[in-house]
Amino acid sequence: MENYAEQLIQLGQERKSIICIGLDPEIEKIPLQGKLEDVIFTFYQNILQAMVDENVKPTIVKPNYAFYFQHGFEGLRALHKIIEFCHEQDIPVILDIKVGDIKKTAEAYARGIFNWLNADAVTVNTYMGRDVLEPFFQYCKKGKGVYSLLKTSNPSSGDVQDLELREGRRVY
């Protein structure tokens, strides 16, 4: 079995692209009407299907969990359906959730993210230490990926991430 990084490299070469599309629904900007779950799913399904039809298949997509979670079960069902659709189209999915909690809780997140949602990769906030990451590593052996949050681009990221430690080293 190829590891996650090898899978992405191969897809990038095959598709001659490293396109990653964020799938973060802002309902008020989606020009569709109907049941929330269907609106979200149909909107992204149409975009991704159009790209597939035009042979511009993205190498990977990255839905941000919060944009779905805020809509409760309908949002989570839409996310689940989007991930299934992406897999049908051979498009891997990074779940952008930035989880970061103690080992037992991280184990529960890993099971939900990889076993229920069936994401291919996840973003993890590792500021609490190694035990935040460890539960995700068993899934790496099964071809899944983990992105560790180190330095972010939000305006106040430097408040903590840029703190100078010793010898000119920074937190990140």
Query: Residue 121 — very low, low, confident or very high, per pLDDT cuts 50/70/90?
Result: very high
Kindly tell me if the per-residue pLDDT of 171 is higher than 80.
no
Query: Residue 127 — very low, low, confident or very high, per pLDDT cuts 50/70/90?
Result: confident
- Which one is predicted more confidently, 15 or 1? 15
Give the residue among 63, 66, 132 at the shortest CA–CA distance from 95. Answer: 63
Kindly state the percentage of the chain with pLDDT values over 90: 79
The pLDDT assigned to 32 comes to 95
Tens of pLDDT, residue by residue over 45-67, are: 999 999 999 988 899 999 999 99
Token duo for residue 129? 């230490």
Burial class (CB in 10 A: 0-12, 13-18, 19+), 60: buried
Contact between 169 and 161 under an 8 Å Cβ cutoff? The reply is no
> Model's pTM, two decimal places?
0.91
Separation CA 33–CA 44 (nearest Å) = 14
The pLDDT assigned to 123 comes to 97
Separation CA 3–CA 10 (nearest Å) = 11
∠ CA(74), CA(78), CA(84), 5° rounding?
145
Q: What is the DSSP letter of 96?
A: E
The pLDDT assigned to 38 comes to 98
Separation CA 101–CA 81 (nearest Å) = 27
Token duo for residue 39? 């609106």
Kindly tell me if the per-residue pLDDT of 87 is higher than 70.
yes
∠ CA(40), CA(42), CA(46), 5° rounding?
125
Q: State the average pLDDT for the chain.
A: 94
Catalytic residues: 98
Residues forming a β-bridge with 63: 23
The pLDDT assigned to 150 comes to 85
Contact between 105 and 132 under an 8 Å Cβ cutoff? The reply is no
Pairing label, strands 20-23, 94-99: unpaired
The pLDDT assigned to 1 comes to 59
Kindly tell me if the per-residue pLDDT of 13 is higher than 70.
yes
